[in-house]
Structure 1
């Protein structure tokens, strides 16, 4: 009888260990699948995304080398400006790919995720305002920018909050006409801080909104998107990793509003 009583806890322990090992293996397989998807996405999209700015740099660089003596000072300045803008775009693309890869790796590491969520920003209005003004100047559209920012401490680092604001405001400027407003609002709502970016651009269909994901490009043959899918994917993923989310409201030919929701800080 004593032997029988002793066997039951051991059998239960074996079952618990086996269940734990299965769970660990499942988590490992999920992480490997995510990394494989990440590698596939980067290998498919990186060459295309890099080729456009590289083509501008190479084409104008070749002209400068072969025909510099026949060009006017104005033409030289114009070509130099194209090369500079292409190089800046290339730099930003590379940075975005690296950031996307980094945050996807963080998502598979519970300790890294915990540390990520411990960061907070006490002056989000200042961070969002600076990011929005920087993007407006880069697009030469400061006159179109409207800011309505309320400060409330939020559970995200100022670097990642600024990144979300930068990507959302940049998309709003890219896909709306010069002279139309881009409105940036920051306001508390229940236990959340909401960043809302509104434009009066061409908008998106419900199907396009539903299909937003990393590296997805909308109507590429109609209008060059220059990283719309990646920028929104980064913003969406950052919001989700901090316990929030991202929502898009859009109508074709009416405009788009993107809402990023982040948890308010309790301390």
Structure 2
């Protein structure tokens, strides 16, 4: 049964709420003030929180704000219990992330209906997450063997030819085969690294301490760093002339290696899914405490349905187009941006253009 935390400074009201919940077999926790409530929530991770607004020291708004800043508790359903019924109070709570309001005094039926409704909604979210996890497992089982086997076959095939016919091959043939082996090895290495990186990020997402540690990182001179990473990708694909840069400098709250990974994957997709000779444009600017940059190409594009279905190991239209890559790149970018408290948006018109926008917190503390 669900575990519910009640935070209420008036003892009679608190005990009545707990009694109503316990009659319905809910497991209950209680706190007589906001500070204790926050401590209990962080320690016991309840399934739902019912909290009074008007309390001394730390009021309900402060409790909600504190819990929404911690990954471990930010998604817990939160119901305000209040004698305040004006729109301003309601709006303030909703802006902070409250899920519902109950007016004092409330009937047992009103209380239990609100609790059931919020727990039902949370259960739907949990089931959806489980479904996405199952899709990830399915995509991995289908895509990963192919992505590992293809470059490995190239390495083994060309190395066998070299071993069997080395004496009869001229230097040009040997060089060509060695280049193919190197390219296959690089492709295999990248698949393995992306797979391991994605798994690591999924583990970090469940560890609030590591998320907090990540968000202490920062990089200055973002424009020059982005320029270097983008040019490296474009020249490697022999499309240096297609790269257009319109970058504003600034400092970002992200580790340099993770910013480099984001640029690498976004540029790789833009290069892969657009034709040589068409522009790939990077723009960046600062706005409302964030550093924002976009990567735009005039390539294949994506439908709205494909954008909403982005997931690890997911490739679209693979049967129609020959393409390399496991499909993990964009999922890695998405997860990195989330872990650093940013936002990723994609706007695309099929067969015309795609723009990916990354918004990351601006940093005033540069390492």
Query: Do both share a fold (TM > 0.5)?
Result: yes
Higher share of residues assigned helix:
1
Aligned to 1:63: 161
Select 1:96's aligned residue among 173, 194, 219: 194
Select 1:221's aligned residue among 303, 315, 319: 319
2:341 and 2:361 in contact (8 A); partners too: yes
* Aligned structure 1 segments of 4 or more residues deviating by more than 4 angstroms: 21-24, 36-44
Structure 1 CA distance for aligned equivalents of residues 256 and 276 of structure 2: 29
The structure that has the greater radius of gyration is 2
Structure 2 spans left out of the alignment, 5+ residues: 1-11, 20-26, 31-39, 48-71, 77-125
RMSD: 3.0
1:15 equivalent to 2:7? Answer: no
Aligned to 2:63: none
Mapping for residues 1-267 of structure 1, pairs under 5 Å: 15-16=28-29, 20=44, 23=47, 42-227=140-325, 229-267=327-365
How far did residue 149 of structure 1 move?
1.3
TM-score, length-scaled by structure 1:
0.85
SS of 1:257 mapped into structure 2: strand
SS of 1:227 mapped into structure 2: coil
Evaluate the alpha carbon distance shift between residue 44 and residue 221 of structure 1 in structure 2; reply closer, same or farther with a 3 A threshold: closer
Residues 207-251 of structure 1: CA distance to partner in whole angstroms, max 9, x if unpaired? 222211111011112223323631111011111111112111111
Choose between structure 1 and 2 for higher RCO, CA contacts under 8 A separated by at least 6 residues.
Answer: 1
How far did residue 46 of structure 1 move?
2.5
2:348 and 2:355 in contact (8 A); partners too: yes
Larger mean CA deviation between 42-51 and 230-239 belongs to 42-51
SS of 2:28 mapped into structure 1: helix
1:217 and 1:225 in contact (8 A); partners too: no
Structure 1 spans left out of the alignment, 5+ residues: none
Structure 2 CA distance for aligned equivalents of residues 55 and 186 of structure 1: 41
Larger mean CA deviation between 44-53 and 78-87 belongs to 44-53
